[in-house]
């Protein structure tokens, strides 16, 4: 974690406007990942690292058909799993982590994904971001706020944080938004990052937050 910085000036007031704007644009936010239970969401979230959700959604049906749960996956070989998840990238480490996570879920937690942050992060390949996604998506628990590349970019552009480290950004956002909103703030920012606030060429002229965004880009001259 980097040296702690104070919140940017006016961050609290901006956060209230940001929340209202995101709620209006995305009344019923949801994850892009397709999963029917906590284990499937954990697996999909691990696979989504450095990969698009759309690609993950093409891989997981076959994965869950062959290994429906952690007990089945724990018996798979690394080579078998790699052959299924290869297209998600970094498949060596992802396969190793998923096999380790499956074995630990079976041996330590009786085959059930634990609904606790401190236990989730003991699973191979599961850090705070993945744990927060699983806790909210599968259990409705707001223990933290998952910070991915979209949340990081949007939070900085909108002047909600002065940090670049995801852990520090998470702490700032947890101070700015009501706890009950943490999970949905993540979903809404991810959708907003994909629809409007792109990493390159953000669509500022279409953004309802442009009036108070400290880093809005001026309209391009014709």
Please name the residues in contact with 30: beta carbons below 8 A apart, sequence gap of 6 or more.
187
Convert the pLDDT of each residue in 77-99 to its tens digit.
999 999 999 999 999 999 999 99
Domains of the chain: 11-29+145-212 (1.10.1670.10), 38-139 (1.10.340.30)
Convert the pLDDT of each residue in 55-66 to its tens digit.
999 999 999 999
Active site (annotated) includes residue 5 = no
User: pTM score > 0.85 for this model?
Assistant: yes
CB 38 within 8 A of CB 138: yes
pLDDT exceeds 80 at position 219: no
Is 213 annotated as belonging to a binding site?
yes
Q: Residues 94, 129, 152, 168: which is the catalytic one? A: 129
Is 51 annotated as belonging to a binding site?
no
Q: How far apart are CA 95 and CA 13, in angstroms?
A: 44
**What local confidence, expressed as pLDDT, does residue 66 receive?**
99
Q: Average pLDDT in the 112-133 region?
A: 98
Q: How far apart are CA 38 and CA 40, in angstroms?
A: 6
**What local confidence, expressed as pLDDT, does residue 221 receive?**
47
pLDDT exceeds 60 at position 220: no
pLDDT exceeds 90 at position 42: yes
Is 197 annotated as belonging to a binding site?
yes
Q: Residues 148, 168, 172, 184: which is the catalytic one? A: 148
């Amino acid at each position: 974690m980097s040296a702690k910085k104070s919140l940017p000036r006016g961050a609290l007031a901006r956060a209230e406007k940001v929340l209202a704007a995101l709620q209006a644009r995305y009344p019923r936010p949801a994850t892009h990942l397709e999963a029917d239970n906590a284990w499937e969401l954990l697996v999909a979230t691990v696979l989504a690292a450095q990969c698009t959700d759309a690609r993950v959604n093409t891989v997981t049906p076959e994965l869950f058909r062959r290994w429906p749960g952690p007990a089945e996956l724990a018996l798979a070989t690394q080579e078998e799993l790699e052959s299924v998840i290869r297209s998600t990238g970094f498949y060596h480490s992802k396969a190793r982590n998923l096999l380790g996570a499956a074995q630990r879920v079976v041996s330590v937690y009786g085959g059930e994904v634990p609904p606790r942050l401190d236990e989730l992060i003991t699973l191979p390949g599961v850090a705070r971001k993945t744990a927060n996604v699983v806790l909210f998506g599968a259990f409705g628990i707001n223990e933290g706020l998952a910070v991915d590349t979209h949340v990081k970019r949007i939070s900085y552009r909108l002047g909600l944080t002065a940090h670049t480290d995801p852990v520090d950004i998470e702490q700032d956002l947890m101070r700015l938004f009501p706890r009950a909103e943490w999970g949905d703030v993540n979903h809404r920012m991810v959708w907003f990052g994909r629809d409007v606030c792109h990493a390159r060429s953000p669509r500022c002229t279409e953004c309802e937050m442009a009036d108070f965004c400290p880093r809005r880009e001026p309209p391009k001259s014709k």
